[in-house]
A and B are shown apart, each in its own frame.
Chain A
Amino acid sequence: MKPPEPRGPVSAAVRAGLTSAAGDEFLSVELPGDLDHILRDADLQLALWMLYEQSYRSFEGAHDHEWNPSAVALRRRLEQPFEEQLRAATAAVVDDALAIAGDVVPQIEHALAHAPGPDLARFLHREASREQVLDFLAQRSVYHRLRGAALGHLCAFESTSSVPCRRIAAGIERVGLPEATAAYFHEHVEADAAHEHIVLRDICGNFVESEPAQRAEVLFGVAACLYLDGLAAQDLLASWAGTLGGELAS
């Protein structure tokens, strides 16, 4: 994979650092004084994603800076405010879910039933133009890191897949894109109808049973996935309507 086109000064510096032998660029990166909007800042998110990606598949022409101290330090400066803001934005959902008696399964189901943000899949199903469907296909991305939260994130991701995928596939067919494009979403209608139950009960249910202290972390992961999906849906719909920005309505 080629390194992505930078979206601003920070992602440009990270790309320069990754593709240089010494990686001095990581040291001289200047972050904005105010990181209050890191959840929506494409430059900072792309920079963070590139720093993570070198631990997975990395990029063509990149040098090995996975454990370069200045790269790790920069990663921490980005992921700390990112995680703090995500926890702040989802704290109410996690607290509401924790207030329900019983094991973690009904708590996760409660969070899933109260997902914030607009129904992007419904819009893609019924209304989106061909250009908007193509725009959506270019936008998908996933976040990963913390252990319990990663399982919760996976659970919300799988549990909000089957029904929306059916709508998205129908939208892709409605605007006349090739069958192969819809096939990806059709596959996930049936596959995730099974996966969502496995992740919810077999994985998250059993995980919290064996590690009770991870309960709130799993719920944080669920809420974080729903929140970011809601934010992305709201911004994508707003960009199509020409009214970008604003808080996420619940």
Chain B
Amino acid sequence: MTDAYSRCGEPVSIKQYGDGPLLVRHADVVVADDGQEHEVTRPVVALCTCQRSQRLPWCDSTHKSVRRE
């Protein structure tokens, strides 16, 4: 399971949107399954839940192209 935490104290929120990605708010770091830490540079980031992204752990909306074709 991917993990996300904040260094500045503001609580991290994680929300699933339909069958799309997980949206993570207020995180500073996202820890992927392999233990690698990914720095967060945006207030909200979308995490891939289908493993088809070419930019893991981030969602790049590949799921939309795959579903449609």
Residues of A bordering B, CB below 8 Å: 105, 113, 162-163, 166, 189-198, 200-201
Contacts and interface: CB of A to CB of B under 8 A. Distances in A.
Of the candidates A166, A190, A195, A200, the one having the most CB atoms from chain B within 10 angstroms of its own CB is: A190
B46 interface: yes
A56 to B, nearest CB: 25
A212 B17 CA distance: 22
A191 B46 CA distance: 8
Nearest to A106: B18
A190 B21 contact: no
A201 B18 contact: yes
B65 A194 contact: no
Given A162-B61, A196-B61, A197-B46, A190 B23 contact: no
Interface string B1-26: 00000000000000001101101000
Interface in B10-66: 17-18, 20-21, 23, 42, 44-46, 54-55, 58-62, 64-65
24 contacts: A105-B18, A162-B60, A162-B61, A163-B62, A163-B65, A166-B60, A189-B60, A189-B61, A190-B46, A190-B55, A193-B59, A193-B61, A194-B21, A194-B46, A194-B59, A195-B44, A196-B61, A197-B20, A197-B21, A197-B46, A198-B23, A198-B44, A200-B17, A201-B18
A166 B65 CA distance: 11
A197 B14 CA distance: 13
Interface of B: 17-18, 20-21, 23, 42, 44-46, 54-55, 58-62, 64-65, 68
A113 B46 contact: no
Given A190-B55, A194-B59, A201 B17 contact: yes
Nearest to B61: A162
Contact of B18 (A189, A195, A197): A197
Contact of A189 (B17, B20, B42, B55): B55
A12 to B, nearest CB: 42
A113 B69 CA distance: 12
Given A163-B64, A191-B42, 8 more contacts: A190-B55, A190-B59, A193-B46, A193-B61, A194-B44, A197-B17, A197-B18, A197-B46
B68 A113 contact: yes
A162 B54 CA distance: 13
A187 B20 CA distance: 19
A20 B68 CA distance: 53
Nearest to B21: A193
